[in-house]
A and B are shown apart, each in its own frame.
Chain A
Amino acid sequence: MRKLKRLAPQIVALVLVLFAVTLAVPGFLSISVQNGRLYGSLVDICVRAAPVALLAIGMTLVIATRGIDLSVGAVMAITGAIAATLVADNQPLVVVLLVSLGIGLACGLWNGALVALLDLQPIIATLILMVAGRGIAQLVTGGTILTFNDPAFSFIGSGALFGVPMPVLIWLVAGLVVGLVVRRSALGLLIEAVGVNRRASSLVGVRSRFLIVAAYAISGLCAALAGMIVTADIHGADANNAGLWLELDAILAVVIGGTSLSGGRFSITASLIGALIIQSLNTGILMSGWPPEFNLIVKAAAIVVILTLQSPTVATALSGLRATFGSASRSNSHEPTGKAGARAK
């Protein structure tokens, strides 16, 4: 119940966005099975949301520690370039996967070390790799789009298992694994404690440095997965464009998911729904047939509406309205808004 209450604003926003798109594009919601796999715009949304969804998983943890990871887009480009190089070199798939994930992990550890050990501001620390990373990726690919023809690796981007496209499976599994590890262990609580008050947490013996490094490391791994998916998807590594600006979409997904940029309480599920909301807007705009000049305006307007409805001020006003109307119909059912969250269990 408590969990559902936490996710309610995001679920409502997603339903509203899908509803709005259906009004503009009839048949938007239909799903069929074609060539043994699920087919339809909803499926496209889940597939195309994969990179941002994966990034949002790691970004949620980083933001929960009161950090931010601007480098994830560049890390996608690096891991994509390296994966493509290895695939073009006919390395076995296992080697490609392990090396790429290893590079992503190394990038995450680098960020984490700058933030936790050298105490650089996260925005500056990760900006370093954001700028340098794309250069590294270009060095790896030699400045060109490095293409390959390898059905096994391409399967990651465009294959399907039991009718479900691989990118969807990957972000679902990654979200599930990270979510379970974080919530079934004490990592989640300790990360939240560090994000809310790092000093107080350190004084009770929480190893804040380890936790911060761990958050960035997971973010690096997620970026590596996202990088491989986009590379496999277009059968090539585009160092200039892979993951470009996706760090901002990932941050937006986390914010739509209701995790505060000032750290603390987080929800990976809510961030994933946030990623789906963003992609639903993207796909909806493409399907609508409007001229591309409107793309960014429509997206921005929709996001403003979503974030406004979620803002504490509006939420309080809304529940005030609800209380007013509620008490009109059923007397004495007024509940102070401050207690609502505490009571839900």
Chain B
Amino acid sequence: MMKIVTRLAAASALSMLASTAFAASLTVGFSQIGSESGWRAAETTVTQNQAKERGIDLKFADAQQKQENQIKAVRGFIAQGVDAILIAPVVATGWDDVLKEAKEADIPVILLDRQIEAPDSLYLTAVTSDQVHEGKVAGDWLVKDVGAKPCKVVELQGTTGSSPAINRKKGFEQAIAGHSNITIARSQTGDFTRTKGKEVMESFIKAEGGGKDICAVYAHNDDMAVGAIQAIKEAGLKPGTDIKVVSIDAVPDIFLAMAAGEANATVELTPNMAGPAFDALEAYLKDKKAPAKWIQTESKLYTQADDPKAVYDAKKGLGY
């Protein structure tokens, strides 16, 4: 199993092997938000695994959703004189002071999975996914999959007004723009939950002639997709065949559905933010060459062709 984890990590961390030996004696502090979701837990696990493989001494601090805890942890890291600091920021503002302190102590800071509102001179780089791109990858898959056939899509949005809901919708719409055979017939919020995803999908099916007119459902996260799959089954239709299912996040449960042929594609929000971060850090420490201010993680597409059962087994161990 460990081997598969390594392979997954390697997929996004390009020059990992080359840099491993070099960073043998690095100490890095990591201020994590907490463990509010399965994805967050997986990010922590992957970061620890990455550090272990590279021989980095990782000092981990769980902020339990509080910025004051994060700032306290970062000050602690500065006092300990670590070589670098990773922060998964819980909010976007209020970081200037503590980042200045790190800069004065000459400790590079790398942000993970979220951007902040602060001068970019205060941190080395930010490693995040591109939510618009995620939506686009999902849309591109659908465009390719349906070809020229007409396709009525229903969309399960995330929580109304949240940035993943706005961006993932935008990216998907960009992908299907110019393909007039694909139309979004209905779009409603499923609040990122299974229960609401199922309830909203039920109403879509009723509203669209018992679901026979629906060609695909696009869900802003896998949990809503899992709920939608159940709604489709209970309406007497076959998810994955009668109605295609494409979603984002790549949490383990969607791979079970894919293995059963009930889901078609998912776009990974990789929990491996630390890999690219460590790469950039090691390159920076080696020849003082600052990386770009934004490192975009790969939004990998998984389909039924990618041995979903094996991916499920690999992911299951990450703490999702």
Contacts and interface: CB of A to CB of B under 8 A. Distances in A.
Interface of A: 25, 34-35, 40-41, 44, 48, 143-145, 147, 158, 230, 233-236, 238, 240-242, 282-283, 286-287, 289, 291-293, 295
Interface in B250-306: 253
Given A234-B230, A241-B194, 10 more contacts: A34-B236, A143-B36, A143-B38, A234-B194, A238-B194, A283-B203, A286-B188, A289-B186, A293-B161, A295-B189
Given A234-B230, A235-B230, A295-B160, A241 B195 contact: yes
Interface of B: 35-38, 41, 157, 160-161, 186-189, 191, 193-195, 198-200, 202-204, 206-207, 223, 226-227, 230, 234, 236, 253, 320
A44 B203 CA distance: 8
A238 B202 contact: no
Contacts of A233: 195, 198, 230
A145 B187 CA distance: 25
Contacts of B199: 44, 48, 282, 286
Contacts of A48: 199, 202
A291 B157 CA distance: 10
A238 B193 contact: yes
Contact of B203 (A41, A158, A235): A41
Nearest to A143: B35
Nearest to A44: B202
Contact of B207 (A230, A236, A241, A289): A289
B230 A158 contact: yes
Contacts of B157: 292
Nearest to A288: B207
B106 to A, nearest CB: 37
A234 B195 contact: yes
B212 to A, nearest CB: 12
B253 A145 contact: yes
Contact of B195 (A238, A287, A292): A238
A144 B203 contact: no
Contacts of A236: 194, 226, 253
Contacts of A238: 193-195, 223
A241 B198 CA distance: 13
B253 A287 contact: no
Contacts of A241: 191, 193-195
Tell me which of B38, B189, B194 has the highest count of chain A C-beta atoms within 10 A of its own C-beta: B194
Pairs A-B, 3 closest by C-beta atoms = A286-B203, A292-B189, A234-B194
Contacts of B227: 234
B37 to A, nearest CB: 8
Nearest to B227: A234
B170 to A, nearest CB: 14
A182 to B, nearest CB: 30
Nearest to B236: A35
Given A234-B227, A289-B186, A44 B206 contact: yes
A41 B35 CA distance: 38
A145 B186 contact: no
B202 to A, nearest CB: 6
Contacts of B203: 41, 44, 283, 286-287
